[in-house]
Amino acid sequence: MILGNSKILELVKDENIKLLVNFNEECLGSAGYDLRAGKIYKIISGSKIGATDRIMPDVREIPAKQYFMDAYEYILLETIEKVNMPNDLLARILNRSSLFRCGCTLATAVVDPGYCGTLTLGLKNLNKFKFEIEVGARVGQIVFETVEGDVKPYDGRYQGGKVV
């Protein structure tokens, strides 16, 4: 079941959970929450995902309040918000329609039960024109869903909000 805004707000205010840190009530929708772009990172090296090994790319933080993406460029965004996922919830991150109307799309993943930290999103400019992204811009909507049964809480390499 997808959580509505009243349940999301309840879990944000619950001192034992604090579902979203750096919460802004203006970003709360009817059945989700709009995530805002925080730090911006540029990928500066190659990478590999193999069957038994992985080489993650090096990244460089762009120390600016806005960034002008070149045509077809791909960057990483770290959200302003931090999530604290209880073991009975998972989340999916979806594009905001204003983003794809500008010719851009997000690369996202499921946010597992037990994950705590900021979220890293990939942003791809799909068109031949420059695109400006500002820190604080609403870029994606996070939707929370209940999970039934026993779960193994997330304990992977990105716990705590590691970008790469």
How would DSSP label each residue in the chain? -BPPHHHHHHHHH-TTT-SEES--GGGB-SS-EEEEEEEEEEE-S--EE-SS-EEPPPEEEE-SSEEEEPTT-EEEEEEEEEEE--TTEEEEEEE-HHHHHTTEEEE---B-TT-EEEEEEEEEE-SSS-EEEETT-EEEEEEEEE--S------STTTTT---
pLDDT > 70 fraction of the chain, expressed in percent and rounded: 100
| pLDDT at residue 81, as a whole number | 99
User: Structural domains in the chain?
Assistant: 5-46+53-146 (2.70.40.10)
Identify the pLDDT of residue 86: 98
This prediction has a pTM of 0.95
124-151 tens-digit pLDDT = 999 999 999 999 999 999 999 999 999 9
